[in-house]
């Protein structure tokens, strides 16, 4: 099974955006060496703890610093952008890095409503996402010299388009259009089983894909010991709790007693949201990943996790890659 990596380019407390972007490049290089298939970055806005708002720019920087790993968006929030602009951006990336660019599309704003308006999102009551997806795919398809509007660069690039989601809507759309589907189970697992079932049952083969290809996101925090991994994970738990409480900020430093820093009702919600995760040493992470994969049978997994120390984050994903290789070897045997 292919395994990929989703990086939110976290900005830890005590550092800045420049540090975060450098850390993302370093992580991508380590991911390439560890055998990850894809390195995706996500579009978020007005969040002090996330540095990847200008997602295509970061993708280009990461792709230029690596040589074989696929680099892409997981995802671009399409309603924030004109489809033509996205086609030109990713067409340019594909021209610079042939055969290595992915484009995952989401429907959410990736931010709060005030920031969405600042992005010139129209907030119309009607939902034009399906039409925007079709328009974007057409721009990336075969060149049509007779077309009044063409994406140059973009046309003929065939950049693979994925539909992302955390609800049933994305699963239905990906199935109807015959596109690969990625589910955000790393922070919104409630509809995972039903979404995968719908996607597989309703999938229609297309020129893009002959059979369903479902990827699920899994949170990972790995270290040499389980105790160390749980302390490292406290940063992400604190960050998620603050976000849910309306107080987003930089990625907090880890604490030994996270339960003492998050009110019990909030902590319960955080633990449920982050429940599709593997936390521990290599053996523990391997066993947990194996159990998740055995239950949901994804075609691919994308691992993600925010750790305050960039070096510990790199090591976490290296351990996770070792675990995935062990699982793959065991299944092949």
Q: Assess contact for 309 and 229: CB atoms under 8 A.
A: no
Q: How far apart, in whole angstroms, are the C-alpha atoms of residue 257 and residue 103?
A: 39
At 330 the pLDDT is 80
What are the φ and ψ backbone dihedral angles of 128, each rounded to 5 degrees? -100, 15
What was the pLDDT predicted at 118?
A: 83
- Chain center to CA of 180: 14
Whether residue 68 has pLDDT greater than 70: yes
Confidence band for 171, pLDDT divided at 50, 70 and 90:
very high
Q: Which of 58, 61, 56, 72 is nearest to 4 (CA)?
A: 72
Q: What confidence score (pLDDT) does residue 37 get?
A: 98
Q: What are the tokens at 136?
A: 């974007």
Quick one: tokens of 80? 């924030």
pLDDT in tens, 17-29: 999 999 999 999 9
Give the largest Cα separation in the chain, rounded: 64
- Residue 119: its pLDDT value, please? 80
CA end-to-end distance (rounded Å), the chain? 14
Residue 277 has a pLDDT of 98
Look-up of token digits 């490292």: 232
Distance CA 110, CA 116 (A): 8
User: Are 67 and 35 in contact, with CB atoms under 8 Å apart?
Assistant: no
Residue range 129-140: average pLDDT?
96
Q: What is the C-alpha separation between 72 and 318, in angstroms, rounded?
A: 20
CA torsion, ordered 106, 107, 112, 118, to nearest 10 deg: 100
Confidence of residue 116 (pLDDT cuts 50, 70, 90): confident
Mean pLDDT score, 129-155? 96
**Residue range 188-231, pLDDT digits in tens:** 999 999 999 999 999 999 999 999 999 999 999 999 999 999 99
Residue 252 has pLDDT above 60, yes or no: yes
- What average pLDDT does range 305-321 have in this prediction? 98
Residue 245 tokens read as 């409480």
**Whether the predicted pLDDT of 333 surpasses 90:** no
Q: Any idea which residue has 């660019």 for tokens?
A: 101
Mean pLDDT, the chain, rounded, equals 95
Question: pTM of whole model > 0.75?
Answer: yes
Look at residue 267 and tell me whether its pLDDT is greater than 80.
yes
172-to-141, 187, 290 alpha-carbon distances in Å: 22, 20, 27
Nearest 10 degrees: Cα torsion 208, 99, 169, 241? 170
Q: pLDDT per residue over 30-49, tens digit each?
A: 999 999 999 999 999 999 99
Instruction: Of 244, 234, 229, give the one whose Cα is nearest residue 187.
Output: 244
pLDDT > 90: what percent of the chain?
90
Query: Residue 87 has what pLDDT?
Result: 98
Q: How far apart are CA 206 and CA 210, in angstroms?
A: 6
Taking the C-alpha atoms of residue 124 and residue 134, their distance in angstroms, rounded to an integer, is 19
Burial letters 71-90, b for 16+ CB under 10 A, else e: bbbbbbbbbbbebeebbbbb
| Contact predicate 205/172, CB 8 Å | no
What was the pLDDT predicted at 329? 86
Q: Which of the four pLDDT bands, split at 50, 70 and 90, describes residue 127?
A: low
Q: How confident is the model at residue 124 (pLDDT cuts 50, 70, 90)?
A: low
Concatenating the DSSP letter of every residue in 263-312 gives -HHHHHHHHHHT-SEEEESHHHHHHHHHHHHHHH--SEEEEE---SSHHH
Residue 324 has pLDDT above 90, yes or no: yes
What does the alpha-carbon distance between residue 20 and residue 40 come to, in Å, rounded to a whole number? 15
Domains of the chain as residue ranges with CATH: 1-159 (3.20.20.30), 217-333 (no CATH)
Q: List the structure tokens of 219.
A: 């949170």
Tokens of 159: 């950049």
pLDDT band (50, 70, 90) for residue 112: confident
Distance CA 22, CA 96 (A): 20
State the pLDDT at residue 142.
96
């Amino acid at each position: 099974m292919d395994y990929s990596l989703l990086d939110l380019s976290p900005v830890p407390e005590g550092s800045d955006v420049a540090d975060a972007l450098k850390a993302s490049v370093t992580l991508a290089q380590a991911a390439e060496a560890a055998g990850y298939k894809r390195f995706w970055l996500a579009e978020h806005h007005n969040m002090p703890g996330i540095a990847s708002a200008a997602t295509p720019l970061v993708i280009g920087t990461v792709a230029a610093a690596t040589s074989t790993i696929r680099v892409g968006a997981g995802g671009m929030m399409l309603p924030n952008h004109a489809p033509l602009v996205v086609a030109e951006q990713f067409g340019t990336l594909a021209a610079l890095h042939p055969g290595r660019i992915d484009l995952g599309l989401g429907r959410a704003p990736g931010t709060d409503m005030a920031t969405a308006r600042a992005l010139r999102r129209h907030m119309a009551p009607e939902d034009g996402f399906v039409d925007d997806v079709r328009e974007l795919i057409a721009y990336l398809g075969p060149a049509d010299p007779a077309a009044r509007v063409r994406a140059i660069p973009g046309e003929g690039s065939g950049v693979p388009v994925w539909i992302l989601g955390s609800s049933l809507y994305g699963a239905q759309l990906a199935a109807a259009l015959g596109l690969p589907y990625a589910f955000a189970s790393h922070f919104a697992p409630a509809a995972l089983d039903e979404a995968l079932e719908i996607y597989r049952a309703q999938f229609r083969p297309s020129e893009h894909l002959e059979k369903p290809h479902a990827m699920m996101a899994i949170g990972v925090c790995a270290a040499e010991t389980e105790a160390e991994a749980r302390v490292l994970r406290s940063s992400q738990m604190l960050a998620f709790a603050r976000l849910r409480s309306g107080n987003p900020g930089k990625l907090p430093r880890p604490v030994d007693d996270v339960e003492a820093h998050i009110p019990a009702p909030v902590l319960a919600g955080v633990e449920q949201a982050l429940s599709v995760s593997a936390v521990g040493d290599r053996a523990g992470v391997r066993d947990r990943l194996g159990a998740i994969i055995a239950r949901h049978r994804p075609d691919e997994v994308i691992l993600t996790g925010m750790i305050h120390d960039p070096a510990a984050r790199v090591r976490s994903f290296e351990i996770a890659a070792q675990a995935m290789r062990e699982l793959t070897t065991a299944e092949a045997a």
